[in-house]
Chain A
């Protein structure tokens, strides 16, 4: 009787060990989004930052959806990370780290989308990070707000000098979802536990297009302006530090 019990226990242990090995194949790491404006670290409702046009601004809100992460590694193989979209919110520090299990020991590039697939924009009310109560949703003209940047600028000729860029749009001709691919540097430590992705807000104003707060302090609907700003901010990401 006692023998049998031992057998059972060792069996279980063996199983645990085996499964343990199995999950070891999955390399776990954290992507951390690090928000900057130019060279400065972003702090909400704090310092007055200056964009490339000399416009001063205090940032009140900065958030965006990251979805469809695809990793490339181990000789060009790719792996899609199945998980619901992440809402990265400067106001919620835990939201800025996302935890990933990668099948690769050596990742060469990270691809992701800023935005939400159109299917999720046309199938009613979603849950989790996509719950409309997160405030990243237009109720009167159905669709997700993919990215939001709001704040105060003396140059914004709108009530309270409060500029608001709510960027989204999933329909043909106004699609604001953007794919971003970041190559990881070749000479770096293997198997990093965390990778920083820097996001530089100053790119919202100047990259492919010139977006002046004094000229367009508001973007509240899909369309040409939203797509230009999306083009701009798709350049804001770069690979930062490793740990």
Chain B
């Protein structure tokens, strides 16, 4: 009898133990939450199903300086969480070998709803985005081949690729898919504005007045809920004679696209200064001065701004109050998006 019992328990033990082992080899699906009232995302999740392991791998890669030639420039060197994943307080970002980027690093949020990336929309798939900074001599200055070789030489990465994708193969596609898994999860939808929209709180008066003006003067381009309609427009920034950046025209080769740039999202705008595609505006105030005074109206300037944009000092104050409600502190402090190992709680202990 005793023997039977031991065998029985042993069997139970082996079965449960065995199933644990097999579970450990299966990546854990990660759910992508679409905030209430938002459109369907454009990212093709079918081709890159989100998993906890894929996301964690992407996070490690995002914070790993080895993706650059000299080890100094991780993605996060230019995309800093406390700056809403823009380069905090820099018009242009620093890159490999004392160089500068040609453009202002935009904040990274809600990327799953975009179809084209960069200020000129030159990149047509999020998975392709990392290849541009990795290979650009003024950003990470590395070759894809070298990056892959560095990762392949690291036993830890072999393990992580295996748990995310099933085997130890490390190639360009997996590198970029893992990074995309991290990037698409960067959803910012919990600002005061969002809470007001969800009926959880309400604006104070200046914010409400600012919102009313915003809906009249800004939403045709900075459309809710993403605060961009993702179109390319010329808002009258005269060309910088050193950078000579004609924006969208570089991609389409079409004169009508000269000086057009992607409408940036205004989410977390209080944190993403300086502003504009080359970071020429150091404050919101200077953006408003641009819209109402400094703008240069040219042949491709947007039809909505033919007569610039009249804004009184009062309106500017109220608009600013409203724009500050777009700061999402949950997002800026979300531990899931911080450097791996920065959490106080090891990731295998689940508290929430």
Taking Cβ atoms with an 8 Å cutoff, the residues of A that contact B are 121-127, 131-133, 137, 139-142, 174, 221-223
Contact = CB atoms under 8 A, between A and B. Distances in A.
B257 to A, nearest CB: 13
Interface string B245-259: 000001101000000
Given A131-B172, A133-B144, A139-B132, A124 B125 contact: yes
Contacts, number: 65
B124 A125 contact: no
Interface string B141-162: 0011100100000000000000
A126 B118 CA distance: 21
Given A125-B172, A132-B172, A133-B144, 9 more contacts: A121-B124, A124-B48, A124-B125, A124-B173, A124-B176, A125-B128, A127-B172, A133-B145, A140-B136
B173 A131 contact: yes
Interface string B227-255: 00000000000000000000000110100
B171 A127 contact: yes
A140 B123 contact: yes
B127 A140 contact: no
B44, B48, B250, B253 pick with most chain A CB within 10 angstroms: B253
Interface bracket on B: 20 to 34
B253 A223 contact: yes
A140 B173 contact: no
A122 B44 CA distance: 12
Contacts of A222: 253
B132 A133 contact: no
Contact of A125 (B118, B136, B177, B251): B177
A121 B250 CA distance: 18
A133 B148 contact: yes
Nearest to B131: A139
Contacts of A123: 44, 47, 125
17 contacts: A122-B125, A124-B47, A125-B125, A125-B131, A125-B177, A127-B172, A132-B131, A132-B144, A133-B144, A133-B145, A133-B148, A139-B131, A139-B136, A140-B118, A140-B132, A141-B122, A141-B250
A126 B173 contact: yes
Nearest to A223: B253
A213 B143 CA distance: 29
A137 B176 CA distance: 15
Contacts of B48: 124
Contacts of A142: 122-125, 128
Nearest to B47: A124
Nearest to B115: A122
A221 to B, nearest CB: 7
Nearest to A122: B124
